[in-house]
Amino acid sequence: MTHEFDVIIVGSGPAGVSAAFPLLNAGLRVLMVDGGKKAQDALPTESFLSWRANDAFQAKRMVGQKFHALKMHEAVSPKLRVPSLSYVFDQFNKENQIESENFISIGSLATGGLSNAWGCGAACLSSTELMSMPFPSSEMIDSYAAVAKRVGISGGINDDLSDYFGLDEWSQPPVKLDKIHTHLLECYGRKKIQNAFRNFKMGRSRLAIISKDHNGREACNSDGNCFWGCAKRSMYSAVDEVNILKKFPNFQIENGFIVEKIVKEEGGWRVEAKKNEDKVNCSLHGKKILIAAGTIASTRLVLKTLGYHDSISMLSCPTAGFMVWFPKFLGRTLESSLCLGQLAFTVQVSKNISAYGATLPASCVPVSEFIKHLPFTQSNSISIMRYILSSCIVGTTFFPGIYGRSRVLLDKTNTLNISAIEHPDRRALINKAKSVLSYSYRQMGGLLLPRGFKEGVAGSDIHYSGTLPMSENPKVGETTHLGEIPAMKGVHVIDGSCLPFLPEKPHTLTIMANADRIAKKIVSQSCA
């Protein structure tokens, strides 16, 4: 059979686009398919503070016509409740037949995937962490460099987290801090000299946000619209790179496709899909298939194709959100600023285990996100938050994925069932982090608010991986060093599914670099 495409990529998120570039540059014919959902609302052009004060129709943007902001209560990130981002998550579980118990299952059918609604955190695995991979670490270093330069990373500065992130060599300068975070960094520097911190380090966040114009995108101007959409496209989204890919004559994208099954045929593979809108079945033919639909969807697709109905494990990062009040800044005038992680930190929660997190101004987040956690009546909570909000910061803490294992099972109806597994040490690690953070911020003049440290429900981190881990000698349920499924030669999993472990630090850049690495290896094999 003649195959129209050399490679079919399932998914248009960060992994999919990262694999596409090396393939296209080598002259291979590439087809990309995705769920095709797109943004419906115009991005705000005024600063966040401006339209919050003056827009007579802001309720549509803040609450949504279908009250989207009142949903997804269990999720730690308020971005999941932004009405204009509802399209990113719409129908994912239904279309992919996902059911979960004590677990928040989140994915995307949108072009660009979850990069339409992420926190932009970026990090490289350390040399020690890379030793856990079944291939030479030099391969990842080269791909980290290629991806970081292509995406645009800010935060490059010599500080206590430079080695932890490992990105400064390829990074732009940091985005401007607001007044509270400026105070925090200065205070941290002074107190550190006095050995005031125990098991706590702080530095600038490394973000996939540009501080200088890059590849047709404009530098961040700190207008505060990070949750609601960046009209300048300063924040990285795979959507922007899909538009670049369209300029290649050997590239084609088909939107609105839900892939149902992959079938082996002579000389390659047949992808069976249905058109999302009209449910019409279709077949697509390619020599190789790269699966990059997001860990949960990719896992179901592979298990369904294999007919595998035994339980497997999935990793996700336990999380906790917190809020810190700084009396020194009570009554300060609000200022437009970056509304994603301005400062990052690490917490040593045991001898060999660290937690990671980042903080942002509380004034960027709707008051409704906080009042439900305060030990007061709703009316009193609203009054208190309006009074102190401008003098607070909020943060999220992530713990290693080994402490957030879940059970994944494809049942006989081809529904993927996910249920959380409680790790016996998880609660102790979270309590340790709370203690260290409370002490550390007190050293810098901040007070952790009563009930101001809330543990997230399993899965709300959206850091999923490890269902089809790469291995040097893969067994059933594992993949090769190229993410290839042994029983499906020519089919490669290139998203978080194939990562053999999940660190507490941001992992999207690692997924992108690994996809770039795999694509380059495929190119070298095809040219051999």
Nearest by Cα to 485 from 518, 520, 527 = 518
Structure confidence by residue, pLDDT tens digits, 484-520? 999 999 999 999 999 999 999 999 999 999 999 999 9
Other C-beta atoms closer than 10 Å to the C-beta of 244 total: 16
- Mean predicted confidence (pLDDT) in 327-334: 89
Residue 287 structure tokens: 């020599």
Question: Cα–Cα distance between 199 and 453 in angstroms, integer?
Answer: 18
Q: DSSP H helical segments within 66-126, as ranges? A: 86-89, 92-95
**pLDDT score recorded for residue 1:** 42
Residue 50 C-beta-side C-alpha neighbours within 13 Å = 10
Q: Residue 372's pLDDT band (boundaries 50, 70, 90)?
A: low
Amino acid at 11: G
202: alpha, beta or left, given left = phi > 0 and alpha = psi -120 to 50?
beta
Query: Which residue ranges form the domains of the chain, and what is each CATH number?
Result: 5-527 (3.50.50.60)
Whether residue 148 contacts residue 167, with contact meaning beta carbons closer than 8 Å, is answered with yes
User: pTM of the full predicted structure?
Assistant: 0.95
Q: What pLDDT digit, counting tens, does each position of 62-105 carry? A: 776 766 666 655 555 677 778 778 899 989 999 999 999 999 99
Residue of higher predicted confidence among 49 and 186: 186
Q: What is the pLDDT of the chain when averaged over all its residues?
A: 91
pLDDT tens, position by position, 469-486: 999 999 888 999 999 999
- Helices and strands per DSSP (H, E), number in the chain: 15, 19
**Helix or strand (DSSP H, E) at 500:** none
User: What does the alpha-carbon distance between residue 259 and residue 96 come to, in Å, rounded to a whole number?
Assistant: 9
Burial class (CB in 10 A: 0-12, 13-18, 19+), 394: buried
Are the C-beta atoms of residues 34 and 12 closer than 8 Å to each other? yes
Structure tokens given for 384: 């208190």
Tell me: the pLDDT tens digits for 30-61? 999 999 999 888 888 888 888 888 877 777 77
The terminus-to-terminus CA distance of the chain in angstroms comes to 22
Measured in whole angstroms, the distance separating CA 95 from the mean position of its chain's CA atoms is 21
Tell me the per-residue pLDDT of 404-442, one tens digit each, with 9 for 90 and over: 999 999 999 999 999 999 999 999 999 999 999 999 999
pLDDT of residue 40: 83
